[in-house]
Structure formats: structure tokens, C-alpha cells
């Protein structure tokens, strides 16, 4: 019984007070998912969704094309959000989830509780490199990225 009470107490300490959620990567972020797989999965999570080609690409070493699925209304921490799913050569590699600037203190606190101390902090980012997640100050957004784009992303954290 004491272990159950301790587990409840610990899980509550990681929870956002407004939503009761701890910080976690949304389950729809599946690295290497194809464009078609993402479109199928996201159609239930994005009241408004468009797919567009990014030309010129901003990622390095794009061989065929860079696409982006723009999703409006994606639920995260109790609010509908704008999210950009970045696809490189047919596979998901990066996600930008927009938040409100006034959420920074609570979200970064919850990120630290769930992910540990940041690996890097600078004027633009609070980066959790081992987990491939970062808070971006301006604009206020959360970056989730795959191993495939480490070289594109990690210089921004220096």
C-alpha cells in the first residue's frame, strides 16, 4: 500500500497542474513513419491538415524531397495546437509543436522532471539531447527530432 501511495505521489509530481499530464512525446510521433502512414494516423488528430513540399529544403542532404504536414487542432496538454511534421525523403524526422510563450515555465519544469537536466541551454533553446527534445524560446515551441537529423539540429544548441 505504501508503494502505491509513493507511486501516486511521484507521478503527480511530474504532472502539469492544469491538465494532469506529465511531459511526454506524443505517441503519434513515430520516427521513420512514411508520409502516407502519418496522414492516415493524423487525420483523426488534426481537424485541419495539409501536406506541402518544402522547396528549398532546410534540412541537409535531402535526396528526393522534404515535405511537411501542417496540423491544426492537435491535442497537447489540454489545448489544440499547430504542429509541423517534417518528412525527409519519405520518412518523419522532425516535429515542431507550437505552444504559448506563457507556458514556458511549466513546460520546461515538466520537461526537466520527465527528461532530466538539459544537456545544453542557450539564448534560443533548452535542449535535452539524449532524448532528442528541445524547448525553443522564440517562437515558443517544442522540437522533437530523430537521430537522422542530429547533424542538422545539434549545432543550434551550441
Output the pLDDT for position 21.
57
Rounded to an integer, what distance in angstroms lies between the CA atom of residue 15 and that of residue 23? 7
Rounded to an integer, what distance in angstroms lies between the CA atom of residue 34 and that of residue 92? 6
Q: SS3 of 144, please?
A: strand
Residue 1 domain-assigned (yes or no): no
* Cell numbers for 111: 520537461
Output the pLDDT for position 128.
97
Residue range of the domain that includes 90: 29-157
Element (H, E) at 67: strand 66-76
Across residues 120-129, what is the average pLDDT?
Answer: 97
Output the pLDDT for position 6.
33
Output the pLDDT for position 93.
98
| SS3 assignment for 84-121 | EEEEECCEEEEEEEECCHHHHHHHHHHHHHHHCCCCEE
Least confident piece of the model among 15-19, 52-56, 111-115, 152-156: 15-19
What DSSP designation does 13 have?
A: H
Residue 47 domain-assigned (yes or no): yes
Residue 76 domain-assigned (yes or no): yes
Residue 101 domain-assigned (yes or no): yes
More confident residue, 80 or 8: 80
More confident residue, 2 or 26: 26
Residue 45 domain-assigned (yes or no): yes
Q: Are 42 and 28 in contact (CB under 8 A)?
A: yes
Structural domain count, the chain: 1
Rounded to an integer, what distance in angstroms lies between the CA atom of residue 72 and that of residue 84? 9
Which tens digits make up the pLDDT trace of 69-99? 999 999 999 999 999 999 999 999 999 999 9
Residue 2 domain-assigned (yes or no): no
Residue 12 domain-assigned (yes or no): no
Which tens digits make up the pLDDT trace of 12-61? 333 444 444 589 999 999 998 999 999 999 999 999 999 999 999 999 99
Residue 146 domain-assigned (yes or no): yes
Please count the other Cβ atoms lying within 10 Å of the Cβ belonging to residue 12: 11
What DSSP designation does 149 have?
A: G
Amino acid at each position: 500500500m505504501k508503494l502505491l501511495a509513493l507511486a501516486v505521489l511521484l507521478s503527480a509530481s511530474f504532472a502539469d497542474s492544469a491538465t494532469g499530464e506529465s511531459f511526454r512525446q506524443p505517441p503519434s510521433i513515430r520516427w521513420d513513419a512514411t508520409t502516407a502512414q502519418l496522414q492516415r494516423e493524423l487525420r483523426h488528430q488534426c481537424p485541419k491538415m495539409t501536406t506541402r513540399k518544402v522547396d528549398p529544403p532546410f534540412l541537409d542532404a535531402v535526396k528526393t524531397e522534404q515535405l511537411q504536414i501542417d496540423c491544426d487542432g492537435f491535442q497537447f496538454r489540454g489545448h489544440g495546437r499547430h504542429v509541423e511534421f517534417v518528412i525527409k525523403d519519405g520518412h518523419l524526422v522532425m516535429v515542431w509543436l507550437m505552444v504559448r510563450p506563457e507556458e514556458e515555465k511549466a513546460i520546461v519544469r515538466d520537461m526537466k522532471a520527465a527528461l532530466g537536466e538539459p544537456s545544453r541551454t542557450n539564448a534560443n533553446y533548452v535542449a535535452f539531447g539524449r532524448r532528442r527534445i528541445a524547448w525553443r524560446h522564440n517562437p515558443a515551441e517544442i522540437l522533437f527530432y530523430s537521430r537522422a537529423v542530429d547533424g542538422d539540429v545539434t549545432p543550434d544548441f551550441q
